[in-house]
Amino acid sequence: EVILDAARKRLKLWDISDAQIRRIEQSETPLKTLAIASPSSGYVQQKYVVQGQRVMAGERLLDVSDLSNVWVVADIYEYEFPFVKEGDVARIRLNAFPDKEYSSRVEFISPTLSAETRTMKVRFSIPNPRGNLRPQMFADVELVVDLGRRLAVPDEAVIDTGLRKIVYIDKGDGIFEPREVVTGAKADKMVEIRSGLKAGDPVASSANFLVDSEAKLKGVEAPPKPASKQDTPPSAGKKGPSMQAPAPGSNAAPAGSSREAPPPPGGHRH
């Protein structure tokens, strides 16, 4: 009996189920092979052995992925980090299923920053009961962050000369005065103005045509598009812009109660 108990314990250490052990005990002939079940269900992602191959204890046999719940990993830029926290709500769309929206929350924010992209990883999880979501798919992630009321103008109204940032004030009669400003966060094609303007200042909403000459920073003819009043964003609590995952380019920022995080390089993978 002592020998049998020792054999049972050894089989249990090999993750042999109780049902298999009972079948071994009831068998009248010694078993030459034994089926070993995977410790988790899922899909085989990589196979390292072939049938009939001899394996040693601790040797890697298969990579099995449980896709019943998948991760979505997004990138946020360095300047966006202070605005994102664990628990923030996210809306996620996958390129493969553009008509379906998934809801999730920020589960993890990487403590390190990529030196190459100046971004950090943010992780979400999505239930995947049907197994439609697969590793390496691309996704768009929208994060809504409450920023309160902030002074903002359309991002196309801001000219970045490389040394300073300029906004043109409409003085009337076709005269525009350049005003140096300090900008902040961006969202929904709006950019926060931290200093240099006040609420109600009329700004040229399309001033990019002035970038070609420093001389034009001293006064110009009226731009082709009409001027618009500087936008004072709505109060906190309203729907905000999005963080686009797949490609950098649509940098967005805070207009009112929420902000848009621009898409990270290379897109999001899960």
Question: Which H or E run includes 3?
Answer: helix 2-13
Residue pair 125/103 in contact (Cβ under 8 Å)? The answer is: no
Q: Which residue has the tokens 């000459």?
A: 213
Residue pair 92/74 in contact (Cβ under 8 Å)? The answer is: no
Spell out the domains of the chain, with CATH numbers in brackets: 2-51+59-65 (no CATH), 69-147+237-269 (2.40.30.170), 152-229 (2.40.420.20)
Which pair of tokens denotes residue 65? 């992925």
The Cα 201–Cα 85 span in angstroms is: 34
pLDDT above 70 (res 117): yes
Span 5-63, pLDDT tens digits: 888 888 888 778 888 888 888 887 777 777 777 877 888 888 999 988 888 888 888 88
Span 53-105, pLDDT tens digits: 888 888 888 888 888 899 999 999 887 888 899 999 999 999 999 899 999 99
Instruction: Indicate the pLDDT class of residue 248, thresholds 50, 70 and 90.
Output: very low
Q: Tell me the average pLDDT across 176-180.
A: 86
- Cα–Cα distances (Å) from 164 to 93, 183, 210, in that order, read 37, 10, 14
The Cα 55–Cα 218 span in angstroms is: 78
Q: What is the pTM of this model?
A: 0.53
The number of beta carbons lying within 10 Å of the beta carbon of residue 90 is: 22
The edge-to-edge listing of strands for the beta sheet with 69-77 is: 97-105, 89-94, 138-143, 268-269, 69-77, 119-127, 108-109
Residue environment code for 108-124, b if the CB has 16+ CB neighbours within 10 A, otherwise e: eeeeeeeeeeebbbbbb
